[in-house]
Amino acid sequence: MSTILIWTPQKSHRLEYTLHIMLEKILGVPFLITENIEEYKSCSGPRFCYSFEEPSIENNLWIQAHPLLFEEHIVAQTIEPTPWKEYTLFFPTEQGVFPVDPLAISFYLLTRYEEYTNKASQDQHGRFKVSDSVSYRLGWHRKPMVNILSLALADKIKEYFPDFQHITLPYQLLTTFDVDIAYLYRGRRGFRLLGAMAKSFIFFRFHHGIKQIRGMLNLPVQDPFDRFELHRQLAAAEGHKPVHFVLTAPFSRYDRNIDPDSRAFKQLLDQLSSFSDIGIHPSYHSSEKTELIRKEKQKLEQRWGNLITKSRQHFLKVRFPSTFEALINAGIKEDYSLGWADEVGFRTGTTIPIPFFNLDLNQSRDLLLVPLHVMDGALYQLYNSKDEYQQAIEEIRSEVKKYGGTLVMLYHSNSKTHLF
């Protein structure tokens, strides 16, 4: 496949990162950036210019640049709604082959730029609100806009260079599970177990008390949260290996998994590892107290006996960039946290894993961000029936199939409603 040459008057980490995602990762096209206009003019293969002003070259493909990719600091950006095809985008241009800058828009979405500049947009758990995101306000948060813009760029290149070719991403499915509370009856110890038993007998729920006793003795017990055999069957039916993110934090208001030092916890890890990858589920407060990430990861590695390289934040709580830098420092290679807690769609604007770009450092980092597209908890907030859940899932699935990439689903092992 031919290498595409891009001329720009000034190279930047932001531009290189954006082209890496749009050209190499989505279109499968290698690229080179040059600041030498004579080298660009002598190129007979596919090429385009990215600059503020159009160079004097006949029949030239020129994208007028927004300043964003040439800046080095974080600056609140003006969002000026601008029509493009059936969408309303932003970062308008006065000239060039696009009425907007597709590269700057993509960088803004991929890096979650707005989460650096709008710290006030937080829900009760300190999470960035989807209602304040540019994609939601402009009406396309359920569209993979970076993929769409990448393919629009490919079409434009093909107009100028008819022999230009690019790949089509295959569709894949990845099912993931958050293990917030593995069992209702097993794996509790000490005061937590005594408190649960006392509550059962005080309120005359003797059948719960008996099951708690059986769970304490590690005897067989029917447990409504124990659906892990169903997870195995689902994995076999789907034909791929899922990922289970396991909470290991001590018991607290929002961290309520079973005791990681219990026999039941070790048996659970052995069961899961027979058909699934295992990742850490850093605790509720780990996004503020980032030292907890390494501590909890080490606990899971100790109990499982293997290295942990995958992670997803509990409650999807993240802070830019500190949470991701803490994950890197703890040895995590892949994070799966970037989805909406109360919506479905494309928080990073794409269907593919992308490197984390730290805007404070203005550089790409050694951490892969795997986007989350559909979470069961978000569906429960949005809809009232299983038919409605499935319609929303199919809407997102059709988008991923249309543009290629991996549909990432999140289920909770202790959820009261089954989606599968």
Query: Are the CB atoms for 21 and 29 separated by under 8 Å?
Result: no
Q: Which amino acid is at 229?
A: E
Residue 257 scores a pLDDT above 70: yes
Arithmetic mean of pLDDT, 385-414: 96
Q: 263: which residues sit within 8 A by CB, 6+ positions away?
A: 187, 218
Percent of the chain with pLDDT over 90: 86
DSSP 173: E
Residue 344 scores a pLDDT above 80: yes
Arithmetic mean of pLDDT, 118-135: 94
Residue 187 scores a pLDDT above 90: no
- Entry pTM: 0.94
Q: Which of 74, 112, 150 is nearest to 340 (CA)?
A: 112
Stretch among 88-92, 222-226, 272-276, 327-331 having the lowest mean pLDDT: 222-226
What pLDDT score does 197 carry? 47
* E strands in 203-289: 243-246, 277-280
What pLDDT score does 223 carry? 82
Arithmetic mean of pLDDT, 63-68: 98
Arithmetic mean of pLDDT, 45-67: 96
pLDDT tens digit string along 20-30? 999 999 999 99
Q: How far is residue 258 CA from its own chain's centroid? A: 26
Residue 120 scores a pLDDT above 90: no
- Measured CA to CA in angstroms, residue 337 lies from 26, 324, 351, 370, 386 at distances of 21, 10, 14, 8, 24
Arithmetic mean of pLDDT, 139-155: 98
Angle between helical axes of 263-273 and 228-238 (0-180°, round to 10): 10
Query: Are the CB atoms for 341 and 315 separated by under 8 Å?
Result: yes
Sequence length of the chain is 420
- Which tokens go with 306? 């293997």
> Of all helices (H) and strands (E), which one includes residue 6?
strand 4-7
Residue 132 scores a pLDDT above 80: yes
Query: Are the CB atoms for 347 and 371 separated by under 8 Å?
Result: yes
Domain boundaries, the chain: 4-160, 171-183+225-412, 185-224
pLDDT tens digit string along 211-229? 555 555 565 667 888 999 9
Residue 403 scores a pLDDT above 90: yes
171-183+225-412 CATH, one of 3.20.20.370, 1.10.510.10, 3.50.50.60, 2.60.120.330: 3.20.20.370
Longest dimension (CA), the chain: 86
Query: Are the CB atoms for 175 and 181 separated by under 8 Å?
Result: no
Q: 248: which residues sit within 8 A by CB, 6+ positions away?
A: 257, 260, 280, 281, 296, 299, 300, 303
Give 131's pLDDT tier (boundaries 50, 70, 90). very high
Residue 352 scores a pLDDT above 90: yes
What pLDDT score does 418 carry? 64
Q: How far is residue 409 CA from its own chain's centroid? A: 10
What pLDDT score does 206 carry? 47
What pLDDT score does 100 carry? 98
* E strands in 267-371: 277-280, 310-311, 334-335, 354-358, 363-369
Burial of 38 per CB tally in 10 Å (0-12, 13-18, 19+):
exposed
Give 195's pLDDT tier (boundaries 50, 70, 90). very low
- Which tokens go with 152? 């629009």
- Round the average pLDDT of the chain to a whole number and report it: 92
Q: 87: which residues sit within 8 A by CB, 6+ positions away?
A: 138, 139, 140, 143, 145, 148
170 cis-preceded (ω within 30 degrees of 0)? no
